[in-house]
Amino acid sequence: MKMQSLYSTIKPYVAMGAIALTVTSLNVNAIGHKSDVSNPNAQYQKSEKRGKHHNKMKKQFHRLVKKLDLNSAQKTKIKAIFADMKTKRQEHKESRESFKKQVDSLMLASDFDDNSFAAIYAEYQPSFQEMAMQKAKTHHQIMQVLTPEQQKKFVKMQQHKRAR
């Protein structure tokens, strides 16, 4: 009887302690997930809107290194190719953004004007052609760094990427 009365008096305190411990641990977890706010690099990437593409290129490079088993010389050459690609891409950034703005303005119109879109597209066609040429050149430069076996794997990777 004494034991039962002891348990009945302790039980609410144990329950409150368990609840307090749970709430505290949830709060600590929530604070831990806010680490991006205190990370200046993450803030820079978000403020400059470069994080998504930058991370995509990084992942692509690491996937190439892993799947193709690149040696250190190949890694260095491909990093240089990617850096060159990045600068060339920046050169065409204004053109791409201008095209997107003009097309977006067409999308807001009540009726879609085929002739206006064709005129806008024709205006930017040389720029698009130059971007496609740069992409093909980059692909070619990467192929020249790879061995024949790696080239076959790379082609398979590209085909798989296109099939998605």
Q: What's the confidence (pLDDT) of residue 47? A: 47
**What's the pLDDT score for residue 25?**
65
- The dotted CATH code for 49-163 is 1.20.120.1490
Tell whether the model's pLDDT for residue 12 goes beyond 50: yes
Single pTM value for the model: 0.58
pLDDT in tens, 40-74: 555 544 445 555 666 777 888 888 888 888 899 99
**Mean pLDDT to the nearest integer, 9-23:** 68
The yes-or-no verdict on residue 140 having pLDDT over 90 is: yes
DSSP code for 113: -
Domain ranges of the chain: 2-33, 49-163
Residue 110 has pLDDT above 70, yes or no: yes
- Cα separation of 82 and 57, whole Å? 8
Euclidean distance between the first and final Cα of the chain, in Å? 71
Distance CA 152, CA 74 (A): 16
So what's the pLDDT on residue 18? 65
DSSP helix, strand, coil percent of the chain (3-state; round to 5): 90, 0, 10
pLDDT of residue 123: 92
pLDDT for 34 beyond 70: no
